[in-house]
């Protein structure tokens, strides 16, 4: 009797939280058929992981889901800044920063903006959108085991409602199954870093009169540092629903059972400075902040992403953003390999690019917790790096991977953010007008293939012909977009905008941008044999050699 072969899907995603759902969105946009499984019955119901930085929102913009996210986040759209105070009933306190975009400077470097959208609001949006894009998403389904060989991975899945098991065959397994990743543990992948930093219990509660005490202070979070009752207060709707992070000290023998409703309510009253505040506890969720990065991001055809490969202090909201950007980096590479226009070696660049970014970002997250005196955190003496949020969010660079012409001695995260593009860095944003008269960002052009940027003169026309010839020769989706204000421009730049200077080249040069919006290579000027040059560049970048 011949056994029935297991059904096949090109990509199996394990984990249906922010990173897994983002992976599904990005794969769906690229037309990659995939199955996502999540052992829990639904999306997160607890308000957490709320800060989405500029780079993440740029990725969601290009993916077409940014407007839906902003609509889900409209309740807290006017909340900005971090406040630190002894209590809310006393003096104003100190604003660690009051505005996410002072002077409205961010509009010059990005078409998007920072967005405060809690995980319980964001995940349903991503789920609906991923499903519309064709994602096969199944909650209540658990990965029981997997085995890989040279040709793919065989996974055993359990339907937790029926108890039925079934096998699925996949080309690649992407594990976004969280900090206690079962996939990472089965692979035997270790972790490095400072380890556990501190622990908190996140308490959701209702308090109708607390809004009167908060007044017009529309903060993202308020660090309450009163000696007897410290913690972090976060608004959910600015009216009656709130979250409070209470320090938890398991190292001193404190247990979760010690956090009774009565104790939590009393702690909140003391911290905010309103002794008679009516507090209704609606939920509790413990969490531990840690600084750990996996020693490996991939093993054969199994790839890890998000919290499965990095844990970070929550201060600065770096963890979820780094994970979503992992997913974006990985999605285009999987699509390129599966579609046949890149070699399998391209997937090896995923770890080489993303792991150094995670190490640098995790260090910055811990340092920011120290700077903000996060309740419950006693940092080691000496301090850490002091790089700002902007340079960490937008300025990080890939020094090794699917990039050419990088400076290997340069830090992964520079000391300050500079909007001029460099190989291995994010391509800069410029407002342009396309052939249909639509104003758009240059970042909107990068998603489905390689893009060569050139000028609108004779040199640009030579680069366009070169790109067409190389695309036909290699079978690579490559288009040339000519920028400028002349009649030969595909994208018309705005007055005083210099596309070449902003990309670190000259009007005779060209810049090659990857589908994820990172500069893969650039030429500072004309070259003797541009077709041979660009052919060899793409072969090297896409591991076609």
Terminal Cα distance for the chain, rounded: 44
Residues written for the chain: 545
pLDDT tens digits for 80-129? Answer: 888 999 999 877 788 988 877 766 778 889 999 999 998 999 999 999 99
pLDDT tens digits for 154-203? Answer: 999 999 999 999 999 999 999 999 999 999 999 999 999 998 888 999 99
Q: Are 260 and 277 in contact (CB under 8 A)?
A: no
Beta carbons within 10 angstroms of residue 337's beta carbon: 20
Query: Which regions in the chain score pLDDT beneath 50?
Result: 1-2
pLDDT of 2? 45
pLDDT of 362? 92
Q: Are 46 and 184 in contact (CB under 8 A)?
A: no
pLDDT of 102? 66
Q: Where are the domains of the chain?
A: 8-77+115-191+293-394, 192-290, 431-541
Q: Which residues of 449-461 are buried (b: 16+ CB within 10 A; e: fewer)?
A: bbbbbbbbeebbe
Q: Are 241 and 206 in contact (CB under 8 A)?
A: yes
Beta carbons within 10 angstroms of residue 445's beta carbon: 20
- Select from 207, 225, 228 the least CA-distant residue to 277: 207
User: At the topology level of CATH, where does 192-290 sit?
Assistant: D-Amino Acid Oxidase; Chain A, domain 2 (3.30.9)
- Select from 189, 214, 314, 327 the least CA-distant residue to 271: 214
User: At the topology level of CATH, where does 8-77+115-191+293-394 sit?
Assistant: FAD/NAD(P)-binding domain (3.50.50)
Distances in Å between the Cα of 84 and the Cα atoms of 88, 225, 349, 387, 536 are 9, 7, 41, 20, 55
Q: Are 261 and 281 in contact (CB under 8 A)?
A: yes
Element spanning 131, H or E? helix 119-132
User: At the topology level of CATH, where does 431-541 sit?
Assistant: Glutaredoxin (3.40.30)
What is the Cα–Cα distance from 194 to 59, expressed in whole angstroms?
30
Q: Are 530 and 463 in contact (CB under 8 A)?
A: yes
């Amino acid at each position: 009797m011949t056994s029935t072969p297991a059904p096949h899907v090109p990509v199996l995603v394990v984990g249906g939280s922010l990173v897994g759902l983002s992976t599904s969105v990005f794969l769906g946009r690229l037309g990659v058929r995939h199955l996502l499984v999540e052992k829990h019955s639904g999306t997160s119901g607890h308000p957490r992981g709320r800060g989405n930085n500029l780079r993440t929102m740029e990725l969601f913009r290009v993916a077409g889901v940014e407007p839906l996210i902003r609509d889900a986040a409209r309740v807290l759209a006017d909340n900005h800044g971090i406040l630190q105070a002894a209590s809310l009933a006393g003096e104003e306190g100190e604003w660690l920063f009051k505005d996410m975009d002072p002077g409205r400077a961010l509009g010059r470097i990005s078409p998007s903006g920072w967005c405060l959208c809690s995980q319980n609001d964001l995940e349903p949006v991503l789920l609906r959108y991923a499903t519309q894009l064709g994602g096969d998403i199944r909650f209540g389904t658990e990965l029981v085991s997997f085995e890989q060989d040279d040709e793919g991975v065989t996974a055993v899945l359990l339907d937790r409602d029926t108890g039925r098991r079934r096998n699925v065959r996949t080309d690649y397994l992407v594990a976004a199954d969280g900090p206690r990743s079962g996939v990472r543990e089965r692979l035997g992948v270790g972790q490095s870093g400072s380890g556990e930093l501190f622990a908190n219990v996140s308490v959701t509660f209702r308090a109708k009169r607390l809004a009167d005490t908060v007044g017009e202070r529309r903060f993202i979070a308020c660090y309450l540092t009163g000696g007897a009752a410290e913690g972090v207060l976060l608004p959910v709707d600015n009216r009656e629903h709130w979250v409070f992070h209470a320090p938890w000290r398991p190292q001193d023998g404190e247990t979760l059972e010690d956090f009774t409703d009565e104790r939590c309510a009393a702690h909140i009253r003391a911290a905010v400075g309103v002794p008679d505040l009516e507090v209704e506890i609606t939920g509790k969720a413990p969490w531990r902040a840690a600084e750990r990065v996996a020693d490996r991001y991939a093993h054969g055809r199994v790839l890890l992403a998000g919290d499965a490969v990095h844990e970070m202090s929550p201060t600065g909201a770096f963890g979820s953003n780094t994970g979503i950007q992992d997913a974006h980096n990985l999605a285009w590479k999987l699509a390129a390999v599966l579609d046949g226009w890149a070699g399998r070696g391209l997937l090896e660049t995923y770890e080489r690019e993303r792991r150094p970014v995670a190490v640098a970002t995790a260090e910055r997250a811990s340092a920011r917790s120290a700077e903000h005196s996060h309740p419950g955190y006693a940092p080691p003496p000496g301090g850490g790096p002091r790089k700002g949020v902007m340079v960490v969010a937008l300025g990080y660079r890939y020094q090794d991977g699917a990039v050419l012409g990088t400076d290997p001695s340069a830090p992964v995260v520079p000391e300050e953010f500079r909007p001029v593009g460099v190989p291995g860095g994010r391509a800069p944003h410029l407002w342009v007008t396309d052939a249909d008269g639509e104003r758009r960002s240059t970042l909107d052009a990068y998603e489905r293939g390689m893009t060569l940027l050139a000028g609108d003169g004779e040199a640009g026309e030579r680069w366009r012909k070169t790109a067409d010839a190389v695309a036909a020769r290699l079978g690579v989706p490559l288009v040339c977009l000519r920028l400028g204000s002349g009649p030969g421009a595909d994208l018309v730049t705005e007055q005083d905008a210099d596309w070449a200077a902003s990309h670190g080249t000259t009007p005779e040069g060209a810049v090659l941008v990857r589908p994820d919006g990172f500069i893969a290579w650039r030429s500072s000027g004309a070259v003797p044999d541009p077709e041979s040059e660009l052919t060899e560049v793409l072969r090297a970048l896409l591991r076609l050699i």
